[in-house]
Amino acid sequence: MDLTAANHRIPLSDGNSIPIIGLGTYSEPKLTSKGSCKTSVKMAIDVGYRHIDGAYIYRNEDEVGEAIREKIAEGRVKREDIFYCGKLWATHFEPERVRPYLEKTLKTLQLDYVDLYIIEMPMALKALEACKDAGLVKSLGVSNFNRRQLELILNKPGLKYKPVSNQVECHPYFTQRKLLEFCQQHDIVIVAYSPLGTSRNPLWVNVSFPPLLKDELLNSLGEKYNKTAAQVALRFNIQRRIVVIPKSFNPKRIKENFQIFDFSLTEEEMKSIEALNKNVRLVDLLLWSDHPEYPFHDEY
Ligand code: A2P
Residues 76-102 have pLDDT tens digits of 999 999 999 999 987 777 888 899 999
Whole-number Cα distances in Å, 267 to 20, 96, 98, 173, 179: 20, 49, 44, 18, 20
Instruction: Please report the pLDDT score of residue 290 as a whole number.
Output: 85
**Burial (Cβ within 10 Å: 0-12, 13-18, ≥19) of residue 80:** exposed
In sequence order, which residues have a C-beta less than 8 Å from that of residue 213 and are 6 or more positions away? 196, 197, 228, 229, 230, 233
173 is catalytic: no
One of 26, 56, 58, 84 is an active-site residue; which one?
58
Instruction: Please report the pLDDT score of residue 92 as a whole number.
Output: 74
User: Which of 12-16, 153-157, 266-270 bottoms out in mean pLDDT, i.e. has the lowest?
Assistant: 153-157
- Does residue 56 contact residue 105 with C-beta atoms inside 8 Å? yes
Instruction: Please report the pLDDT score of residue 6 as a whole number.
Output: 97
Residue of the nearest CA to atom 11 in ligand 1? 199
CA angle, 300 then 139 then 17, to 5°: 90
What are the pLDDT digits (tens) for 26-73?
999 999 999 999 999 999 999 999 999 999 999 999 999 999 999 999
Instruction: Please report the pLDDT score of residue 124 as a whole number.
Output: 61
Q: Looking at the DSSP assignment, which residues form a beta bridge with residue 51?
A: 83
- Does residue 166 contact residue 192 with C-beta atoms inside 8 Å? no
Segment holding 152, helix H or strand E: helix 147-154
Q: Is the CB of 247 under 6 A from ligand 1?
A: yes
What are the pLDDT digits (tens) for 176-213?
999 999 999 999 999 999 999 999 999 889 999 899 99
pLDDT average, residue stretch 265-275: 98
Instruction: Please report the pLDDT score of residue 286 as a whole number.
Output: 85
What are the pLDDT digits (tens) for 222-243?
999 999 999 999 999 999 999 9
Residue of the nearest CA to atom 24 in ligand 1? 230
Q: Is the CB of 256 under 6 A from ligand 1?
A: yes
- Is the pLDDT reported for residue 265 higher than 70? yes
Instruction: Please report the pLDDT score of residue 94 as a whole number.
Output: 81
Q: Find, among 237, 228, 273, 286, the residue nearest to 255 by Cα.
A: 228
Whole-number Cα distances in Å, 91 to 98, 127, 138, 288: 10, 15, 23, 13
- Residue positions counted in the chain: 300
Instruction: Please report the pLDDT score of residue 1 as a whole number.
Output: 60
